[in-house]
Amino acid sequence: MAHLSSPASTGHRPVPLLAIESVQRFFLWLMLASGFVVVIEPAPYEVLFAVSLLLFLAGGMQVSMVFGPMIAFLALYNIGGFLSVMPILHDANAKMFVYISVYMAITAIFFAMTVLRAPMPILAVIRSGWIFAGVIAAINGMIGYFNLFGMGDAWAPISRAQGMFKDPNVLSTFLIAPFVFLVQDIVVLKRGWAILRLLALTIIAGGLFLAFSRGAWMNAIAATAMMIGLSFLLTRSLALRGRIIMYVVAGVIAFGLLISVALSIEKVREIFLLRFSLNQSYDVGETGRFGRQLNSLSELVALPNGYGPLQFGRIWGQDAHNVFLNAFSSYGWLGGISYFLLIISTITIMWRPIFTSTAWQHHAIAVNAVLLATILQGVQIDTDHWRHFYVLLGLSWGLYAATVEHGPPTAPTALHGMRPTM
């Protein structure tokens, strides 16, 4: 830590200066920790992002040519948005949609650059802040679901846990990353405070379940299975493999018991059985979700600028509920193709940090497991304006750049049965 010293003749002791890195990481933690508040616009997350961006710019951010594809595809995607909104400039909401897309792209680039500069401490801060936000978000969702303190109308308006989010589907997917982080902490990394981590995991699991999002349930199962499967495959520690097997068996049993207890509550059981059905009335038929999607394709192939931002729902009566279709609909051919290439390139690069033995390998496994599951979920829901999707996107590219530029360290990693330093 730097010190400001007075002349020796004064006899004063050095006065420590607050390191810029500490201030940066404090506001970065606050930014992630505030993620449970979405209904306010601008949300605390946006305000704290502006502060964090200025702080990190002042302290220096690391840029890499490795980010080229991500930045290029995000730029082209948003150029497609500006072109598509031109015919409907009178629509203030459509213009705001494009501005938000640009902001989201900037956040992804920000997270990539911050991770590249210091992968281990930055990922530790992000995980901690996100877990905190996940616990509060889940508690709020459950308070609303059970109508505690009269908060049912505000925090569960459609009888599904929603909390301070605008949609239970977004709440539930927001909870998946901290859920996976905690499972990894307990099962793979053997971190301390196990009881508190288990309590946090249980709370987040409760919020995730009571949001009754089929897509989020599948997302969480897929991401957790991928994280555990890769950890089991890549570890060289027989003891860790045995631990993983033991915890998986115990986890499945505990999960079954918790589901049984939850379904013993009539209100929970009724909504669960309704949501568990794979075919919902609004999905099937000529005017259902899938029918609208198929019918729109024949029109979009003839519209280079698509329908324009937010126009799909106005034309077809409901949003696209497919992020790839929505990219073409909202941002035209340029935006749709760019978004598709962004996703393909991201899936391509995510495997190098996963399969490279580095100090941050366990971070790469957890982040990319959640990101890949979220990408796949985009087939059935619009994920293009989810804040946490862009956080994961930036983290994935940052970890890839760190692996390419810094190379593997000589020290044992978490998957060798060693505890990571941060």
- Residue indicated by tokens 């690069």: 349
Supply the pLDDT for residue 338.
98
Q: Which candidate, 314, 311, 317, 346, places its Cα nearest to that of 331?
A: 311
Sequence-separated (6 or more) residues with CB below 8 Å from residue 124: 422
Question: For 149-164, what is each residue's pLDDT tens digit?
Answer: 999 999 999 999 999 9
Instruction: Calculate helix-pair angle for 238-263, 194-210, nearest 10 degrees.
Output: 50
Supply the pLDDT for residue 298.
82
Split at pLDDT 50, 70, 90, the class of 409 is low
What is the pLDDT averaged over residues 83-103?
A: 95
What is the pLDDT averaged over residues 66-83?
A: 97
Tokens of 142: 């459950």
Distance of CA 306 to the CA centre of its chain: 27
Q: Which candidate, 364, 355, 352, places its Cα nearest to that of 395?
A: 364
> Is a pLDDT exceeding 90 seen at residue 82?
yes
Question: For 244-285, what is each residue's pLDDT tens digit?
Answer: 999 999 999 998 898 888 888 888 888 888 777 655 555 555
Supply the pLDDT for residue 108.
98
Burial class (CB in 10 A: 0-12, 13-18, 19+), 64: middle
Split at pLDDT 50, 70, 90, the class of 6 is very low
Supply the pLDDT for residue 127.
98
Supply the pLDDT for residue 9.
42
> Is a pLDDT exceeding 70 seen at residue 14?
no
Question: Is the preceding omega at residue 16 within 30 degrees of 0, hence cis?
Answer: no
Supply the pLDDT for residue 160.
95
Tokens of 311: 């126009």
If one counts every other C-beta atom within 10 angstroms of the C-beta of residue 154, the result is: 15
Question: For 281-339, what is each residue's pLDDT tens digit?
Answer: 555 555 566 777 888 888 898 899 999 999 998 888 888 889 999 999 999 999 999 99
> Is a pLDDT exceeding 50 seen at residue 348?
yes
Question: For 197-243, what is each residue's pLDDT tens digit?
Answer: 999 999 999 999 999 999 999 999 999 999 999 999 999 889 999 99
What is the pLDDT averaged over residues 54-72?
A: 91
> Is a pLDDT exceeding 50 seen at residue 17?
no
Sequence-separated (6 or more) residues with CB below 8 Å from residue 354: 230, 234, 361, 364, 365, 368
Supply the pLDDT for residue 2.
37
Tokens of 410: 């000589």
Supply the pLDDT for residue 412.
56
Q: Which candidate, 151, 153, 163, 278, places its Cα nearest to that of 210?
A: 163
